[in-house]
């Protein structure tokens, strides 16, 4: 029985103009996000993966309305029961909704104001949203710090006194201050040491259980995404090329790019088959993508249709969407090297 939807992103698009010359005239455009559609259900974690330039961070920023999308709808199911399209709203109209959608940032060293105490950093969202009583704020911040595994006494200290992992916990405490319904985590563990990553991932999982949170988890590290996500969307040059449950995407990918990503990520096991067959070529240019399927120049299975016709994102089996002309015919290898028969290649 599926949980109700919390966020419905429909045909989201974000275009950045390329300007040249003294007049700054527009000579082209970068389609950073190109026709992105997905739904996140309450309480689930949607992983958004892709390499640099795929548009995952721009997508996250549009959802947060840190920038306005060029096209599309961002339908958010607010706490009061209304369904609001965030895309066309003005800053004033967004204000009452912002507490419900918060962000955890990638860089634990850049995301906290070094000249503000932990209390000021974590308490700022509370202050901005009307909690003027200082004592009440102190109580709330202390509770948030404890929730994220930190000592409440720390609230008088400054960020520089803490390690990367601790700062990330502080960032998480800050994100939870306004009791958001949706938390966008943008690469929250990639800047952390291996042993600390596990601690922070565990914290995110525990908090999700306790507070019934919904996560949009943006990352490039596949093993981290696999560990934390219920469903995964794979992006390439601004488009979603595959969207399915985490088990399906990792076990039996249906898009050649997804399969290539799985093969490319080196497994922490010397006995795993090494990826001798690496993907050729470079990532397509979002300012000048190839005709037809954006992935065709690098795709070992490309046909004439792939070179001329743009594939659409379509459902090929229950809940599994793929953007590929040949999805039904291809048998691709998953992350653990097993093919569809379950045998290791």
Partner 1 sequence: MTAPVLEVKGLRVHFALDEGVVRAVDGVSFTVEASQVVGIVGESGCGKSVTMKAALQIVEPPGRIVGGEILWRRDGGPAIDLAQLSPKGAAMRAIRGAEIALIPQEPMAAFSPVHTVGDQIVEALRLHERQWRPAGSPLSRGEARAMTVDLFKSVGISMPDQRVDAYPWQLSGGLRQRAMIAMALSCKPRLLIADEPTTAIDVTTQAQILNLLRDLQRRHGTAIVFITHDLGVIAQMARRVVVMYLGRVMEQGPVDRIFHAPAHPYTRALLKSIPSVHSTPRTLLPTITGSIPHPLGRPRGCPFHPRCPDAIPGVCTERVPALRPVSPEQLASCFLHSPDEAEPA
Among residues 155 and 224, whose Cβ is nearest to partner 1? 224
Among residues 77 and 231, whose Cβ is nearest to partner 1? 231
End-to-end CA distance of the chain: 36
Among residues 275 and 290, whose Cβ is nearest to partner 1? 275
Residue 76 vs residues 68, 208, 344: alpha-carbon distances, Å: 15, 19, 42
Both tokens of 251, joined, read 């076990």
Residues lying near partner 1 in the complex (CB under 8 A): 45, 51-52, 163-166, 193-199, 201-202, 205-206, 220, 222-224, 226-230, 246-247, 250, 260-261, 263-272, 274-276, 278-280, 282-283, 335-336
Among residues 84 and 247, whose Cβ is nearest to partner 1? 247
Non-local CB neighbours of 91 within 8 Å, separated by 6+ positions: none
CB of 278 to partner 1, least distance (A): 4
Both tokens of 121, joined, read 């950093």
The DSSP call for residue 116 is: S
Q: For the packed helices 134-147 and 118-128, what is the interaxial angle rounded to 10 degrees?
A: 120
CA distance 161 to 116: 12
Q: What is the three-class DSSP state of 226?
A: helix
Among residues 19 and 344, whose Cβ is nearest to partner 1? 344
Strand partners, 71: 13
Among residues 54 and 86, whose Cβ is nearest to partner 1? 54
Instruction: Note whether 173 and 150 are within 8 A (CB).
Output: yes
CB of 19 to partner 1, least distance (A): 19
CB of 333 to partner 1, least distance (A): 13
Q: What phi and psi values does residue 49 have, to the nearest 5 degrees? A: -120, 160
CB of 161 to partner 1, least distance (A): 10
Non-local CB neighbours of 247 within 8 Å, separated by 6+ positions: none
CB of 204 to partner 1, least distance (A): 11
Count the Cβ atoms, other than its own, within 10 Å of residue 131. 15
Among residues 4 and 270, whose Cβ is nearest to partner 1? 270
CA distance 17 to 32: 10
CB of 128 to partner 1, least distance (A): 31
Secondary structure string (H, E, C) spanning 42-91? CCCEEEEECCCCCCHHHHHHHHCCCCCCCEEEEEEECCCCCEEECCCCCH
CB of 284 to partner 1, least distance (A): 12
CB of 335 to partner 1, least distance (A): 6
Among residues 74 and 224, whose Cβ is nearest to partner 1? 224
């Amino acid at each position: 029985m599926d949980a109700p939807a919390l966020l419905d992103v429909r045909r989201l698009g974000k275009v950045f103009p390329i300007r040249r010359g003294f007049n700054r005239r527009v000579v082209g455009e970068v389609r950073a996000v190109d026709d992105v559609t997905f739904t996140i259900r309450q309480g689930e974690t949607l992983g958004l993966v892709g390499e640099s330039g795929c548009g995952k961070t721009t997508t996250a920023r549009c959802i947060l309305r840190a920038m306005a999308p060029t096209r599309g709808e961002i339908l958010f199911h607010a706490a009061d029961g209304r369904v609001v399209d965030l895309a066309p709203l003005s800053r004033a109209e967004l204000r009452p909704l912002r507490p419900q959608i918060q962000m955890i940032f990638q860089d634990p060293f850049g995301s906290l104001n070094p000249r503000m105490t932990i209390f000021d950093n974590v308490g700022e969202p509370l202050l901005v949203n009307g909690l003027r009583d200082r004592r009440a704020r102190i109580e709330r911040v202390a509770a948030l710090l404890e929730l994220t595994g930190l000592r409440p006494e720390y609230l008088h200290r400054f960020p520089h006194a803490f390690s990367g992992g601790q700062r990330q916990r502080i960032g998480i405490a800050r994100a939870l201050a306004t009791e958001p319904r949706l938390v966008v985590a943008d690469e929250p563990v990639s800047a952390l040491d291996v042993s600390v990553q596990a601690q922070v991932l565990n914290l995110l999982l525990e908090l999700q259980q306790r507070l019934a949170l919904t996560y949009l988890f943006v990352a490039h590290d596949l093993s981290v995404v696999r560990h934390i996500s219920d469903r995964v969307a794979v992006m390439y040059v601004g488009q979603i090329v595959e969207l399915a449950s985490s088990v399906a995407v990792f076990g039996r990918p249906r898009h050649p790019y997804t399969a290539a990503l799985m093969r490319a990520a080196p497994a922490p096991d010397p006995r795993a088959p090494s990826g001798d067959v690496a993907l050729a070529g470079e990532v397509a240019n979002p300012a000048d993508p190839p005709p037809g399927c954006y992935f065709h120049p690098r795709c070992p299975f490309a046909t004439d249709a792939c070179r001329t016709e743009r594939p659409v994102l379509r459902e090929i089996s229950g809940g599994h969407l793929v953007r590929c002309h040949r999805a039904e015919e291809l048998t691709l290898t998953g992350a653990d090297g097993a093919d569809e028969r379950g045998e290791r290649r």
